[in-house]
Amino acid sequence: NSGSLGGRRPGPLAALFPLSLGQVYQVITDDWLDNNVELSSYLLQGQDAFAAALGRIPGANWGPPQETQNKAPTLAASLRHSYKIELPNTVVITFESTKAKPTGAIGGFLNLDGLPEVAIPELPEGLRPPAELRSASFRVTYLDPKFRITRGDRGELRIYSRVEGEST
């Protein structure tokens, strides 16, 4: 463990952020490869004193549903990439855009589930870094109908399993 959420490349130091990495998966179509990640913060979980006091007011329904109250605030981010396959076994991905959707509750009180998914604004074409700086590659070291094992350009090993019933 490098202590970084960014592997061997510079990235945010995991110890400086109260974040937990949740589910990580890819959705691949003929046109796009989306890396989907969930980040949650344990610091914002749980009911604070103010929310608890409001919840004791007779007849008041201040908080989110019970199943949301105990769920840490989570940000589901989808990072869209274009991709190209370089034979025999390399895939080069280029970052294109990001969408984010918050869920859960802050302090067991502020429900985030109703907030919409947001597309993060992109830089204008002239200000965007060149594709080479937005790209990464990985080698497919094993592939069958149920599993894919890849080795990233930072040396990281990733193991993917196909979701039953999914065709992409």
| pLDDT tens, residue by residue, 114-131 | 899 999 999 898 899 999
Q: Is 122 exposed, middle or buried (0-12, 13-18, 19+ CB in 10 A)?
A: exposed
Dihedral, CA of residue 98, residue 102, residue 103 and residue 106, to nearest 10: 150
- What pLDDT was estimated at residue 148? 95
> pLDDT above 70 covers what percent of the chain?
68
> pLDDT above 90 covers what percent of the chain?
48
User: pLDDT tens digit string along 43-53?
Assistant: 665 555 445 55
